[in-house]
Amino acid sequence: GGTAMAAVRDVEIDPEGTFKYILVRLQRPGGEEQRDIVRGTKAAEFHNHIFEKVNPEMEKLGYECKCLGGGKIDHNSKDKKIRVFGLSTGYGKADHSVTVEILKKVYRDYEITWSDDKK
């Protein structure tokens, strides 16, 4: 039931810097249960590199993954600020307001903002 899905972390992003991110929807095949997660890293040159890493991991756990879009995250851990912006050429723009809500669950004492700016 919910335990396996709960084991998947809401957010996995680099601790510092500006990098690409994607918003991913997890769903049990044929199930109602679904959840959105945020993944981002400087190691990814393109948004699909992130998805190609997440997808097999989640499939092993029995989830179907769908990328809802992407953008960029600017993570300033010193000032405890995160800015979500930009878009993914391949996946389109994620709903950054959804991303911010997910980030707030993890980075509770941060100031988290978003915009549709490209940079």
Q: Please give the annotated binding residues, written as ranges.
A: 20
87, amino acid identity: L
> Whole-angstrom Cα distance, residue 34 to residue 54?
16
Determine contact, residues 110/80, Cβ cutoff 8 Å. Answer: yes
23, amino acid identity: L
Residue 47 annotated as catalytic: yes
Determine contact, residues 54/24, Cβ cutoff 8 Å. Answer: yes
Question: Which one from 47, 49, 75, 96 is the annotated catalytic residue?
Answer: 47
Q: Please give the annotated binding residues for substrate, written as ranges.
A: 20
Residues in a beta bridge with 92: 88
The residues that are catalytic are 47
